[in-house]
């Protein structure tokens, strides 16, 4: 009878012309059975199904089986998944399993190698991928050739890729042609100035090279950096001291030539170019050499006519060291209208006499600095603490008699009192990983130094297992736009137990990589450190996949931490566990909070969570 009933139902549906909706569970079971039975086509189909459901951890072994069976797309998918997770060695391994026969894998491998700094390896695999028919490999390989100055070959290959319909190749080819045309123009203008022996004209011939819009060009095509350096060297040979400084700016892009760059700028200063002292001040400040920076800024200001931005930077240096009266004098010494207009606008409630509050960029910076001084004066918490001033003589006496720990203790007191140059000297004298870490943080977070130049101060502590130091290194690289290096350091920090590093890795997996399962694991690890937002994110993820029992304790932590969205998701977890009365109570809490969420997010509130009302 059941068989007959099934046949009658099937006949009735066929007669009605209505297609039967497939049963997702039955289809999943069928694919799993086929994959388990060793059918190669089923490996990939089942892996795709699991991936589409966000169950990537379960999908990866099936993608691996498909790749082992010769599926190049599966190899590429595996590589991409591992790369998004920051598992770069594993990503490289999977790309290599098919790169010799698949242009897509060759392309992915080449990009991975290039991001790791292996330009030669990247060129090799782009060339191999191009031979396999990958137009993307042809284009990217051509760009690498252009980057080292093989212009003719690069343009030929870009023309090939353009003929195959690659719009990126078309645009890149045009950009390179325009760049080379500009280069010819600069050479011709410089040659005329050389013939006339005119230093000023030689410098003016190259002015466009420092246009901010050309920064991307120099970043993408390093050969242009060498070309610019050579042009400025020629202008300097005509007698332009300014050209020496700009030549040095291009040389300074290579950290291994830092001393050479600084020597050129010092030579320009000796030849009477006032702007050279300002550049030396900026470089010293970026390197955390605070006393040297102040000396060079003062030298620039003392030159004939003064130097507006040297005055400004001196003012900012003094603010950082809480030399507020001195800071205010330097800011007003800039001579820009912003210092005077600050008082007028402040008195008018933020607008000038004509009802406006506009400043040009320079004036705005002065106004912001003066506002910061006023805010510091009004906030005792931002002033040097009196108790540390009282303790300083005793700490100084111990430092003079003691060793690294006493030196570090004295440096810490000076740091708290914003006596940054003195603190730096004592931190360096101590030289321990802890002292160097404190030095790097002080110079970067307070002293105005460039983060990447401070990384060496963080590394000894990170090498000893300091999770916070490893996290800070990751943060510096992330802020510099180097996601790969940031991911490596955040992974080290998370493995050492740093909650925020684990949170960052989870967010990266979910938002950038579309990998909620991997993200959930990192959110759980972050929640263990006591952080409320990742506890919520982990709990919400668990509710979405039906793991209500696992979600409940995490969401309770988030609710205790007053996370606005957590009550709704806790209610959903409790409802899933069959505890309807508790669920209703938490839904009422969520409903009461929802108007605040609407005010905070506006029309986007519905994306944060459904209306609990």
Q: For 414-468, what is each residue's pLDDT tens digit? A: 999 999 999 999 999 999 999 999 999 999 999 999 999 999 999 999 999 999 9
Per-residue pLDDT of 244-288, as tens digits, reads 999 999 999 999 999 999 999 999 999 999 899 999 999 999 999
Return all residues near 353 (Cβ < 8 A) that are at least 6 apart: 344
Q: What are phi and psi of 344, to 5 degrees?
A: -65, -45
Residue 143 and residue 220 in contact, taking contact as beta carbons nearer than 8 Å: yes
pLDDT digits (tens, 9 = 90+) for 7-46: 334 443 444 444 555 677 888 899 899 989 998 889 999 9
How much is the pLDDT for 603?
67
**Taking residues 125-140, what's their average pLDDT?**
97
Q: What is the mean pLDDT of residues 332-346?
A: 60
Q: How far apart are the first and last CA of the chain?
A: 48
Cα–Cα dist 144/154, whole Å: 8
Least confident of 23-37, 63-77, 287-301: 23-37
State the Cα–Cα distance between residues 202 and 179, nearest whole angstrom. Answer: 20
Asked if the model's pLDDT at residue 560 lies above 50, the reply is yes
pLDDT of the residue at 11: 41
Range of lowest pLDDT (82-86, 161-165, 441-445, 605-609): 605-609
8 A C-beta contact, residue 160 and residue 138: yes
Minimum mean pLDDT range among 338-342, 359-363, 393-397, 532-536: 338-342
Q: Tell me if 81 sits within 8 A of 515, measured CB to CB.
A: yes
Task: Kindly state the average pLDDT of the residues 40-62.
Answer: 91
Q: Which two tokens stand for residue 446?
A: 């307070």
Q: Above 70 in pLDDT, residue 352? A: no
Residue 351 reports pLDDT greater than 70: no
- Mean pLDDT, the chain, rounded, equals 90
Mean of pLDDT values over 78-84: 94
Rounded average pLDDT over 224-243: 96
Tell whether the model's pLDDT for residue 349 goes beyond 90. no
Under the banding of pLDDT at 50, 70 and 90, the label for residue 605 is low
- Interatomic CA distance for residues 375 and 368, integer angstroms: 10
125 band by pLDDT with thresholds 50, 70 and 90: very high
Mean pLDDT of 77-92: 94
pLDDT at residue number 233: 97
Sign of the torsion formed by the C-alpha atoms of 39, 43, 44 and 46:
positive
How distant is the alpha carbon of residue 341 from its chain centre?
A: 36
The pLDDT assigned to 247 comes to 97
Two structure tokens written together for 25: 């569970």
Residue in 291, 301, 422, 312 with CA at minimum distance from that of residue 372: 312
- For residue 609, the 8-state DSSP code is S
Nearest to 51 by CA among 70, 77, 13, 87: 77
Has residue 72 got a pLDDT over 90?
yes
Say what the pLDDT of residue 342 is: 47
pLDDT computed for residue 606 by the predictor: 60
Going along the chain from its start, the domains and CATH numbers come out as: 37-175 (1.25.40.10), 198-375 (1.25.40.10), 384-464 (1.25.40)
């Amino acid at each position: 009878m059941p068989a007959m009933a099934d046949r009658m139902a099937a006949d009735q549906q066929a007669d009605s012309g209505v297609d039967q909706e497939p049963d997702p569970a039955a289809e999943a079971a069928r694919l799993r059975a086929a994959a388990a039975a060793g059918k190669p086509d089923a490996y990939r189909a089942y892996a795709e199904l699991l991936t589409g459901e966000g169950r990537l951890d379960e999908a990866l072994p099936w993608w691996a089986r498909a790749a082992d069976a010769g599926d190049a797309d599966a190899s590429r998918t595996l590589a991409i998944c591992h790369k998004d997770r920051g598992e770069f060695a594993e990503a490289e391994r999977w790309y290599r399993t098919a790169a010799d026969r698949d242009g897509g894998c060759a392309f992915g491998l080449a990009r991975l190698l290039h991001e790791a700094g292996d330009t030669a390896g990247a060129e090799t695999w782009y060339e191999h991928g191009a031979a396999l028919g990958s137009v993307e490999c042809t284009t990217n390989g051509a760009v690498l050739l252009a980057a080292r100055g093989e212009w003719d070959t690069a343009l030929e290959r870009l023309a090939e890729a353009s003929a195959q319909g690659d719009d990126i190749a078309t645009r890149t080819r045009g950009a390179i042609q325009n760049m080379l045309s500009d280069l010819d123009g600069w050479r011709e203008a410089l040659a005329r100035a050389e013939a006339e022996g005119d230093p000023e004209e030689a410098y003016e011939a190259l002015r466009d090279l420092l246009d901010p819009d050309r920064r991307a060009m120099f970043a993408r095509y390093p050969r242009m950096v060498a070309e610019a350096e050579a042009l400025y060297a020629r202008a300097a040979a005509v007698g332009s001291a300014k050209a020496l400084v700009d030549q040095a700016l291009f040389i300074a892009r290579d950290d291994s030539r830092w001393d050479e760059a600084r020597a050129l700028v010092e030579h320009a200063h000796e030849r009477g170019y006032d702007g050279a002292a300002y550049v030396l001040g900026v470089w010293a400040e970026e390197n955390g050499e605070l006393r040297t920076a102040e000396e060079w800024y003062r030298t620039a200001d003392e030159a004939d006519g003064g130097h507006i931005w040297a005055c400004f930077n001196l003012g900012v240096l003094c603010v950082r060291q809480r030399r507020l009266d001195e800071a205010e004098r330097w800011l007003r010494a800039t001579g820009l209208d912003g210092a005077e207009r600050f008082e007028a606008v402040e008195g008018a409630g933020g607008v000038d006499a004509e009802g406006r509050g506009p400043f040009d960029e320079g004036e705005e910076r002065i106004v912001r600095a003066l506002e910061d001084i006023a805010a510091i004066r009004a906030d005792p918490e931002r002033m040097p603490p009196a108790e540390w001033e009282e303790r300083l003589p005793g700490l100084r006496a111990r430092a003079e008699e003691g060793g690294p720990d006493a030196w570090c203790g004295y440096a810490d007191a000076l740091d708290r009192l914003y006596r940054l140059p003195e603190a730096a000297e004592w931190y360096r004298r101590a030289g321990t990983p802890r002292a160097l870490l404190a030095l790097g943080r002080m110079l970067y977070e307070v002293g105005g130094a460039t983060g990447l130049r401070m990384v060496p101060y963080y590394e000894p502590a990170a090498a000893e297992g300091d999770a916070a130091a490893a996290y800070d290194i990751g943060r510096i690289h992330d802020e510099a736009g180097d996601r790969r290096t940031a991911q490596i350091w955040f992974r080290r920090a998370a493995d050492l137990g740093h909650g925020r590093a684990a949170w960052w890795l989870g967010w990266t997996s979910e938002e950038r990589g579309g990998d909620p399962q991997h993200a959930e694991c990192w959110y759980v690890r972050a929640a263990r450190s006591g952080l409320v937002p990742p506890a919520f994110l982990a709990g919400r993820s668990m509710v979405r996949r039906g793991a209500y029992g696992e979600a409940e304790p995490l969401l309770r932590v988030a609710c205790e931490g007053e996370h606005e969205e957590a009550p709704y998701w806790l209610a959903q977890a409790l409802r899933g566990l069959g505890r309807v009365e508790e669920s209703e109570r938490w839904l009422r809490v969520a409903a009461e909070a929802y108007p605040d969420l609407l005010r905070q997010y506006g029309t986007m509130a519905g994306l944060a969570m459904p209306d609990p009302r």
